[in-house]
């Protein structure tokens, strides 16, 4: 399905961020890049972009973007960009002869909206507008600027920014038939060059339908306030259903702050994965050196690596750089890092005493950790089916075991006077061995009960 994107406006209220609104950067990507890549992730492949203000600059940028991302982009020019946005849509009349998705270059949204919308059926003379009924709970909306919609029985009765009676918001996402062009031309006869004017024409014929956004998000990035809200919302979407308790409540809040600054650089997700691995290796090396100071340094490095390890996926998702290789590469490095850390900690507790029990417990911790990774694939797949992409489920994994090493190492300083009685590094490796193997058994039971 083809996708038409309006990118002709000036965007005065965001002029402090850049002289071309579609090119204003938001967490590592320009607004228009983010819209196109979101649409591509939602299943669209053929893009038509209407440019106007600073059009030559925007088109040159899109040509470079087209080459770097291998995305088909066709330019449409609107020299009358100072008029209503309906004119920008109308410029595509001679180009788009079949149904198409219509998007705004400054609206950020969840790609799942398009996944569902593009499969909707419409007649040759209809248009579907994606609406948000969460008018009392949506805090991302500028109530003074948003286009309001009155809907009844899934049909639009009225639409406009100054509409007094309404029960939904216009998200700026449409599934259009070519009938939208004739409707805008008819609206122009009444001196209304807005897209909403064309929708009102179709609504008067009962041909403007709606599609409910439900719990998905969208935001019109129109000024400084909504720009900051968009940043906050996108960072909030980085939380994963598979995040363990430490990742969710400690690591992720820190890693997203780090990611926010890394996005301004050209650092790749794979480089971050490798950096996290190196930090773990250095931490394990300090364990091998022995002594409480080295234990603490190694544990701190391991916990820092655990936090940094979240940045690779965050950068990949925010910059749409996710690849199967990247996910696999990160998992391979994590397994090596886990082995080095646990073997280093096992050596730390075994070397002074030569107690073979320490080696056995260390072995159980290592094998439990590896099986924890192995069982995660099936378990996480089952939980995603149950909870969807936005829920949380119980999970003990890498974040927990590294945090255990960190906490017990820090506590060991306070227990120096009891070192003959309380061997905290040993208790850490014992707890990891018990938790990881118990978690694996629990997952096997859960998977067995669910067939």
Mean pLDDT for the stretch of residues 190-202? 96
Task: For residue 94, count other CB atoms closer than 10 A to its CB.
Answer: 9
Mean pLDDT of the chain: 94
Least confident interval from 288-292, 389-393, 409-413: 389-393
Q: What is the pLDDT of residues 139-182, one digit of tens each?
A: 999 999 999 999 999 999 999 999 999 999 999 999 999 999 99
CATH number of 31's domain:
3.90.550.10
Assigned token pair, 323: 């690849």
CB 448 within 8 Å of CB 383: no
Mean pLDDT for the stretch of residues 243-259? 94
Domain count, the chain: 2
Range of the domain at 304: 238-449
| pLDDT value of residue 420 | 55
Query: Does 204 share its domain with 247?
Result: no
Percent of the chain residues past pLDDT 90, beyond the cut: 87
DSSP helix/strand/coil, 52:
strand
Mean pLDDT for the stretch of residues 345-366? 95
DSSP string, 123-185: -TT-EEEEEE--TTT-TT--TTTSPEEEEETTEEEEEETT-SS-SEEEEEEEEE-THHHHHHH
Q: What is the pLDDT of residues 7-66, one digit of tens each?
A: 999 888 898 898 899 999 999 999 999 999 999 999 999 999 999 999 999 999 999 999
Continuous segment of H or E residues that includes residue 287: helix 269-289
Query: Does 196 share its domain with 79?
Result: yes
DSSP, res 98? S
Query: Does 339 share its domain with 203?
Result: no
Give the residue from 182, 215, 233 where a domain finishes.
233
Say yes or no to pLDDT of 132 above 60: yes
Query: Does 153 share its domain with 244?
Result: no
Query: Does 336 share its domain with 191?
Result: no
- Residue 89 CA to residue 78 CA, distance in Å, equals 9
CATH number of 324's domain:
1.20.120.1760
Least confident interval from 74-88, 232-246, 384-398: 384-398
């Amino acid at each position: 399905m083809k996708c038409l994107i309006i990118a002709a406006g000036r965007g005065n209220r965001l002029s402090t961020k850049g002289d071309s609104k579609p090119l204003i950067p938001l967490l590592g990507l320009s607004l228009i890049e983010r819209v196109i890549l979101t649409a591509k992730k939602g299943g669209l492949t053929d893009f038509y972009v209407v440019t106007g203000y600073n059009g030559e600059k925007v088109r040159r940028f899109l040509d470079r973007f087209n080459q770097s991302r291998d995305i088909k982009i066709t330019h449409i020019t609107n020299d009358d960009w100072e008029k209503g946005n309906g004119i920008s849509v109308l410029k595509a009349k001679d180009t788009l002869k079949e149904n198409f998705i219509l998007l705004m270059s400054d609206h950020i949204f969840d790609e799942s909206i398009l996944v569902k919308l593009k499969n909707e059926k419409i007649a040759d003379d209809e248009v579907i507008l994606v609406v948000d009924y969460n008018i009392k709970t949506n805090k991302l909306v500028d109530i003074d600027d948003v286009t309001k919609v009155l809907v009844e029985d899934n049909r639009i009765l009225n639409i406009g920014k100054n509409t007094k009676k309404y029960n939904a918001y216009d998200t700026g996402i449409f599934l259009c038939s070519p009938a939208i062009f004739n409707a805008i031309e008819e609206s122009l006869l009444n001196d209304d060059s807005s897209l909403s004017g064309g929708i009102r024409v179709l609504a008067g014929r009962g041909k403007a339908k709606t599609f409910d956004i439900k719990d998905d998000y969208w935001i019109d990035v129109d000024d400084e306030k909504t720009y900051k809200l968009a940043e906050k919302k996108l960072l909030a979407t980085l939380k994963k259903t598979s995040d363990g308790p430490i990742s969710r409540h400690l690591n992720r809040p820190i890693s997203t702050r780090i990611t926010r600054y890394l996005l301004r650089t050209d650092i790749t997700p794979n480089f971050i994965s490798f950096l996290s691995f190196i930090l773990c290796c250095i931490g394990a090396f300090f364990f091998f050196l022995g002594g409480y100071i080295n234990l603490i340094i190694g544990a701190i490095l391991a916990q820092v690596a655990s936090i940094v390890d979240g940045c690779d996926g965050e950068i990949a998702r925010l910059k749409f750089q996710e690849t199967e290789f990247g996910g696999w590469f990160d998992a391979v490095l994590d397994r090596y890092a886990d082995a080095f850390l646990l073997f280093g900690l096992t050596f730390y507790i075994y070397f002074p005493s030569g107690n073979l029990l320490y080696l056995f417990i260390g072995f159980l911790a290592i094998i439990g950790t590896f099986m924890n990774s192995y069982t995660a694939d099936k378990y996480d797949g089952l939980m995603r089916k149950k909870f969807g992409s936005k829920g949380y489920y119980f999970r003990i994994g890498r974040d927990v075991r590294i945090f255990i090493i960190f906490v017990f190492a820090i506590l060991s300083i306070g227990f120096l006077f009891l070192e003959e009685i309380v061997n905290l590094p040993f208790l850490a490796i014992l707890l990891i061995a018990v938790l990881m193997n118990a978690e694996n058994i629990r997952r096997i039971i859960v998977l067995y009960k669910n067939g």
